[in-house]
Amino acid sequence: MRMRNRYSLIGACLVGACLGLIALATTAPASAQEDASKYPARAIHIIVGFAAGGGNDIIARVYGQKLSESLGQPVIVENKPGGGAIVATEYVAKSAPDGYTLLMSASGISINPAVYAKLPYDAVRDFVAVSELGSFPLIMVVNASSPIKTVAELVAYAKANPDKMNYASSSASFQLVTELFKQKTGAPMQVIPYKSANESVLAVISGQVTTTIADAGPVVSQVKAATVRALAVAAPKRMEDLPDVPTLKEAGADVDAVLWSGIFVPRATPPAIVSKLERELMRIAKLPDVIARLKPLGIEAIGNSSDEFAKILAADLARWSEVARASNIKIEQ
């Protein structure tokens, strides 16, 4: 009898524990939704995988300021450069999925899987694409004192001096665009890695490398200061700010590689928070002062939906994998 009572007591405890777990599981979504309705209640951090001054950093700060004004909480931009934005991307992937840590990612999130043998995150499984904030062309430059004045001359020089020809790249994004250029023109070039687009441009100015393809943020001011010469723009049309610079297609290279930047959050972030951020970012992208702030840098404000952005991500994952495979590029991480 005593044994039976003891087992009955154990059974009752186990049943109670199970019921408690079931109750917790069924109430968790409601708690998440309740928290989401109060979002945000504290500062939001936007993590940028590149150093300050580049295109992604500028976009993050422009949108971040407006987001802070509309949501009534501070929006802090944090730069975590390193490993082609892998450091920042992994950091956000492992952050709490509560809407307080956002990833400001460039196209690299769709390019890194094509070139790195192993990554500490999955671009689709670990993230929700919230909204594409901007798209921007890349500009190919050489030193202002270089005898190379056109894309055709760059290709000819590379073919005549394969052992001397090199280019600076601060991320897999810039590297694959340059590799696409090499595939289309047959120009041999050796990649030299740098930590930021700013450093890549400075490497051209100092003569450490022959050329680089970088975003407009750190390039346009140097072109106007006559420290570098712009050979071409990797975009479907010329930039208003550099009307005399041809597109790569106009210059004879069949390359069209407009890149983008956008906001991602960890996959388990409550849908209500994702929707709120999506609505705010889409609204901010249409503000005249935001458009005016980004336009001189060659950045077009986009602000598309989460679904639209997810489709762009999927298409680019396929595209850049093909380019990397053709160039036999694989980086051990």
pLDDT digits (tens, 9 = 90+) for 188-245: 999 999 988 889 999 999 999 999 999 887 898 999 999 999 999 998 889 888 999 9
Whether the pLDDT of residue 11 is over 70: the answer is: no
Mean pLDDT for all residues in the chain: 88
Whether the pLDDT of residue 15 is over 60: the answer is: no
- For residue range 72-127, what is the model confidence (pLDDT) as tens digits? 999 999 999 887 789 999 999 999 999 999 999 999 899 999 998 899 999 999 99
Are the C-beta atoms of residues 281 and 59 closer than 8 Å to each other?
no
Binning pLDDT at 50, 70 and 90, where does residue 18 land?
A: very low
- For residue range 152-188, what is the model confidence (pLDDT) as tens digits? 999 999 999 999 999 999 888 889 999 999 999 999 9
- Return the pLDDT at 137: 85
